[in-house]
Structure 1
Amino acid sequence: MEVKVHKKGIIVLPSEVRKKLNIKEGSVLKIEIKDDTIILKKELSLIDAWGIFEGKADVKEALNILEEERRREVEKERKGNY
């Protein structure tokens, strides 16, 4: 699969990739660089995580994810990125 790099480095993920990974507007992707390879990884959001916990009593893990997500929001607010 190929994508074109547009002005300002913008790329468009093909719809089949977005559907397969449930990537929507606002989804967070992590970028890793290894040698000459770019790796995009979907960041697990709290909304994504709730599906993991259906029928399970793993509340501690859910709270850890919520705490981490809130920490990131606070960092953005402090930097004026909101």
Structure 2
Amino acid sequence: MEVKVHRKGIIVIPAEVRRKLNIKEGSFIELEVEGDKIILKRKMTLLDAFGIDKDMGDSAIKELERLRKEEVEKENSI
């Protein structure tokens, strides 16, 4: 896509891209420079990240439950 640079270096991110990446007014964007390229990335907030590791969290809980059960069984066998 081609965008125009306005006064003070302002560029407009097309609505289609903003919708696709859930960029709204007040969102933060990370800017990287690689050689002659400018890379813009949507910065993930804590709210965006909420629940992203659900599968990992579920397996961690199951492992903790298993370990605790083993501890209780050992305590009861003494």
Place the TM-score, normalised by the shorter chain, in its bin. Answer: 0.5 to 0.7
| Cα RMSD, aligned residues only | 1.9
Match of 2:26 in 1: 26
Q: How does 1:1-82 map to 2 (within 5 A)?
A: 1-53=1-53, 57=57
CA displacement, residues 41-63 of structure 1 (integer Å, 9 cap, x when unaligned): 111101211252567638xxxxx
Number of residue-to-residue matches in the alignment: 58
The separation in 2 between residues aligned to 1:51 and 1:19, in whole angstroms, is: 21
Q: Secondary structure at the match of 1:47?
A: helix
In structure 2, the gaps of 5 or more residues are 59-78
The separation in 2 between residues aligned to 1:15 and 1:51, in whole angstroms, is: 27
Q: Secondary structure at the match of 2:30?
A: strand
The separation in 1 between residues aligned to 2:36 and 2:55, in whole angstroms, is: 42
TM-score normalised by L of structure 2? 0.65
In structure 1, the gaps of 5 or more residues are 59-82
Percent identity of equivalent pairs: 60
The separation in 2 between residues aligned to 1:39 and 1:54, in whole angstroms, is: 29
TM-score normalised by L of structure 1? 0.62
- Extract structure 1 runs of 4+ deviating beyond 3 A: 53-58
